[in-house]
Amino acid sequence: MATISLTDFEDVRIEAPWGDIVGRWYGNRQERPILAIHGWMDNLGSFGTLIPLLPDYLGVLCIELPGHGRSAHLPAGMRYHVHDYVSIIGRVMKAYKWSKVSIMGHSLGGALGYLWAALAPHTVDLVISLDIVHPPLLTPVYPQVHKLFLNKFAIADERSYEAGNVQEPPSYSLSELRQLMAQGSDNSVPAELAHHLLYRSVTKSQLFPDKFYFSRDARVKWYQQFPMSADLAAAMASRIQDTPYLIIKGTESPYVNEDTLPSRTILAKQNPHYEFYEVPGRHHVHLTNAEEVAKHIVPFLRHHRPPKLANERTKALHQFTVGPELAAVMLSRIKNIPCLMIKASDSPFVTEQSTLADQNPQYEFYEVLGQHHVHLTHPEECEKHIIPFLKLHRPPKAVQLTRTLNNEQVPVERMSKL
């Protein structure tokens, strides 16, 4: 299976009233991509180990929520709110003129996918939710938590936008930053993988050489959550009846817990396209155990968003078909002609070739990873088979160099003797 290359991307900016929403579009940019949304305090780098394992016929547009990564911060006095983050999905759809959206979200990003799928199910053709089901449920301690977050936000807001405040945040070495990220995530992002997120969330210090500081908006830490009642969570789940929905839980993560069981039960009973799997790992399981996560995502994508080009060409192929008898006659007429066939692994056009293999001793067959235009996308792999085949059946002829002498073409070696 051909997969997306991390080097094949285009950086994008989506205009918004407060500034740009920044993203990176990996892979195929001719079709509507998967919209990937990161978690709280993260950025698009959290998908860095997963994207190279996804099929290349679909692109992935990773966006960074306001205040995260390289996206613009909200103006002074404006607080980050889950409700506003949900609206980002609609803003992206409007910018690209999509009538449908495919959402892959981790943590907060997955919760946004749940809310959007429940509020506008007719616009969603699939959701992949990584270690989250829905926003947390309302608890008796929420008023105290809300008050704490409001106070912390006010302090951070004043500190960040106080007139004349140009003081740099605390700066650290890269080694220290890796350790801070590991500690801050309870080792969900281990130090050896922290670089996937750090390169989009830090800025080089102007005061201390070889040191960096976190450049995300400090106010994001105290964002306005959206705690839900159990009844509201269940009611939303009941609205996601026909949308293909995949949830992957990290076995060592606490976020897909008993609080989410009622909603998961509703999805399992009412949604025939619902799938749930557990994968060894913590909250950032898509980063630390991407191979196992991809084993569930790839079949899900292929089933619910199969290769469009292959489907269209298969339909066209059915318009020009030959019966088995005619096909056999045609094959019998090329039994003595050297024949090389290269099949693209993800293409539907080459199926049965055993008859030709039985009748033609000079027949060769190989399979190369790729889609129908594999000769264009993977020419080096095709050349590995074509060049030896040509050298065997059309070997180079000895080149006879000649020159004109007395109106006669004379071989060069003969002229040397004259």
Query: Are the CB atoms for 284 and 189 separated by under 8 Å?
Result: yes
- CA–CA separation, 294 and 130 (whole Å): 11
What is the number of other CB atoms lying within 10 angstroms of the CB of residue 215? 15
Query: Are the CB atoms for 56 and 45 separated by under 8 Å?
Result: no
Closest CA to 293 of 283, 307, 303: 283
What is the number of other CB atoms lying within 10 angstroms of the CB of residue 234? 15
Catalytic residue (one of 107, 129, 188, 347): 107
β-sheet bridge partners, residue 61: 25, 35
Closest CA to 29 of 2, 51, 60: 60
DSSP run (H or E) holding 212: strand 212-214
Given the DSSP bridges, would you call strands 408-411 and 402-405 parallel, antiparallel or unpaired?
antiparallel
What lies within 8 Å, CB to CB, of 35 at 6+ separation is 61, 63, 89, 92, 101, 102, 103, 104
Tokens found for residue 10: 């285009």
Q: What are phi and psi of 372, to 5 degrees?
A: -55, -35
Closest CA to 20 of 86, 82, 83, 64: 64
What is the number of other CB atoms lying within 10 angstroms of the CB of residue 142? 13
Tokens found for residue 350: 């080459």
Q: Which residue has the tokens 């991307």?
A: 9
Tokens found for residue 112: 């946004």
Annotation says 185 is catalytic: no
- CA–CA separation, 370 and 344 (whole Å): 5
Q: What are phi and psi of 79, to 5 degrees?
A: -100, 145
For the annotated catalytic residues, the residue numbers are 107
